[in-house]
Amino acid sequence: MNQQQIEIICIGNELLIGKTLNTNANWMARRATSLGVVVKRITVVGDDVNEIASITRDALQRKPRFILTTGGLGPTFDDKTLEGIAKALNRRLEVNKKALKMVREKYEAYAKAGRIETVELTPPRVKMATLPERTEPLPNPVGTAPGVTMEVNSTFIVALPGVPSEMEAIFEESVAPLLKKEAGKFVFFETSTYADGIMESTLAPLVDRVMRDNPYVYIKSHPRGAEKKPHLEIHFSTTTKDSKTAKDLIGKAIIQLSDLIEKNGGKVKTKKA
Amino acid sequence: MNQQQIEIICIGNELLIGKTLNTNANWMARRATSLGVVVKRITVVGDDVNEIASITRDALQRKPRFILTTGGLGPTFDDKTLEGIAKALNRRLEVNKKALKMVREKYEAYAKAGRIETVELTPPRVKMATLPERTEPLPNPVGTAPGVTMEVNSTFIVALPGVPSEMEAIFEESVAPLLKKEAGKFVFFETSTYADGIMESTLAPLVDRVMRDNPYVYIKSHPRGAEKKPHLEIHFSTTTKDSKTAKDLIGKAIIQLSDLIEKNGGKVKTKKA
């Protein structure tokens, strides 16, 4: 059985103009990986219906088990994610009763707390409950706009807000259990060692050899030093069916590579310099 | 004349497992935007020849003026960017004489500084000078692997290393002047104001109205407050042919929107809370 695959789609002009650092993609990638699924691709597009529809269609054609989107679910004109997904799927947008109830209860609570004057469901508020046909809203524990989920052929599409605290809260409550269940028994394990006194071009054939001898371990070197002082992080990772096997596999690779590095004049540490 | 478009492709498993925050994409997006081109899409793929070839082909079909890649140019087995680009273009890989000279001179300098024992051009070192046919190497002022550039139909493809200091140095030296030239006279201008005491759903129709009245200004609200205290950043941006026009356009939109926000019970500040 192969690992289930996931694509992440981040929506927002602020990412494309470099105003906002994409911490959401990083957070989702790390969480999804730790839950045992493989992140195959991350794509950032702007607040544009055609761009969102196009990337959704392209991602669906690659048949990942999950497509997770973040951003573009709010009340403003440029929150266009659901319109884009609806277009990609040839579905109509409609006011979803469950979603409308979620939104209404939020505004009632805000009014009770004295934060707003009116609980009136104005068009921008109804917009947050206007979903593609045949989809399910996901409760938003910390904000107003619900998440949205649907299954299209063999792919779950899950749309989450772009505000990090809201994205993370819906992810933990509604998405993580689903990923975990679909991932089955796969466990991701990673660790790093650090090498001084060896250049990456000298390390390269040593890594090749250790990876040939340890086919389930992925090893990647990252130059971390300043120009004058080579310092390499060496990152080991594996995905297996239990954590003892993972640790054994990685331990064996670390010992073999450390030995080779020291024979080539380098020094290995288990902590950062 | 429309603005020239750019796509950014980031290559590296470390981005897909969430080990590394994609600061390179953010840096490149900000710099490219400030130079007057439009970043249309950012894609992250893993260290996989087929994935790199596939995204390169897809991006070329969208006919942006530039495709910028980062990552995967180093000496290790998993540095596969040039192999992927060569595959996408049906070109052979060959040792590029200019690139080999650049690499050789780097190792000679390292040896002179006492950092390495041998200047021998081992296979991992020659790999960094092995480029697709009919491409040009770009000097790397701070590291070893040269950047690579080529023109394919109406698109410049530029491949840069993933180490941030190297990517940024080659960008500033060789890419920024090219972007600037191709961008023509377009200038990007942005600023933010901050609003308290108004919810995003109340702000939304006000933004719609101001954007209708100011068609060249893009306005986007970002919730920044804690759950109990709404605080919104309102980001204004425009791309025009000179900075005076940009400032006038944005100033007019800020005055109109601030006025509407205050009429709706909100308070506007020009600094963060």
pLDDT over 70 at B191, yes or no: yes
* Region of poorest pLDDT, from A190-194, A234-238, B118-122, B257-261: B118-122
List, in sequence order, every residue forming a beta bridge with B43; answer none if it has no partner. A43, B9
Instruction: Tell me what the mean pLDDT of segment B143-164 comes to.
Output: 97
Give the chain B residue whose CA is nearest to the CA of A41: B45
pLDDT at residue A115, rounded to an integer? 78
The predicted-structure confidence for A232-253, as pLDDT tens digits, reads as follows 999 999 999 888 999 999 999 9
Q: Min CA distance, B41 vs chain A (Å)?
A: 5
% chain A with pLDDT above 70: 98
> Which chain A residues in 122-141 lie under 8 Å from chain B, judged by CB atoms?
122-125, 128
Reported confidence tier of residue A227, pLDDT bands at 50, 70, 90 = low
Which among A41, A77, A143 has CB closest to B45? A41
Flag whether pLDDT at B1 surpasses 90.
no
Q: A115 vs A42, which has greater pLDDT?
A: A42
Per domain, the residue ranges of chain A are: 5-183, 187-269
Question: What pLDDT score was predicted for residue A228?
Answer: 62
Exposure of A35 in the CB half-sphere (CA atoms within 13 A): 23
Q: What is the DSSP string of A236-273?
A: EEEEESSHHHHHHHHHHHHHHHHHHHHHTT-EEESS--
- Chain A residues in contact with B188 by the CB 8 A cut-off are 17
Task: Give the tens place of pLDDT for each residue, B24-71.
Answer: 999 999 999 999 999 999 999 999 999 999 999 999 999 999 999 999
**A5-183: CATH class:** alpha beta
Q: How far apart are CA B143 and CA B216, in angstroms?
A: 42
pLDDT value at B76 more than 70: yes
Average pLDDT over residues A212-225: 92
Is domain B187-269 given the CATH code 3.30.1280.10 in the classification? no
Amino acid, res. B153? N
- Chain B CB contacts of A13 under 8 Å are 218, 220
Distance (Å, whole) CA B252 – CA B203: 18
Please name the residue of chain B whose CA is at the shortest distance from the CA of residue A229.
B115
- Say yes or no to pLDDT of B159 above 90: yes
Per DSSP, which regions of B178-242 are E strands?
A: 187-196, 218-223, 231-240
Option in B21, B43, B77 nearest A21 (CB):
B21
Complex ipTM value: 0.93
Bridge partners for B238 per DSSP: B189
Average pLDDT, stretch B87-103? Answer: 98
Helices (H) and strands (E) in chain B, counts: 10, 12
* Minimum CA–CA partner of A43 in chain B: B43
Among A14, A125, A265, beta carbon nearest to B235: A14
Task: Name chain B contacts of A41, Cβ cutoff 8 Å.
Answer: 16, 43-45, 51, 55
What percent of chain B is predicted at pLDDT more than 70? 98
Query: Hey, are the CB atoms on B44 and A43 less than 8 Å from each other?
Result: yes
Q: Is A201 on the interface with B (CB under 8 A)?
A: yes
* Amino acid B100: pLDDT: 97
Are the C-beta atoms of B113 and A228 separated by less than 8 Å? yes
Cβ contact, residue pair A39, B31, below 8 Å: no
Residue B226 has pLDDT above 70, yes or no: no
Give residue B62's pLDDT. Answer: 97
DSSP category for residue B162: S
**Is the pLDDT assigned to residue A1 strictly greater than 80?**
no
Give chain A's mean pLDDT: 94
- Is the pLDDT reported for residue A226 higher than 70? no
Mean pLDDT of chain B: 94
Chains A, B: CB pairs < 8 Å: 198
Q: What pLDDT is attached to residue B121?
A: 93
Task: Provide the shortest C-alpha distance from residue A142 to chain B (in Å).
Answer: 7
Q: Is the pLDDT of residue B120 over 80?
A: yes
Query: For position A68, what pLDDT does the model report?
Result: 98
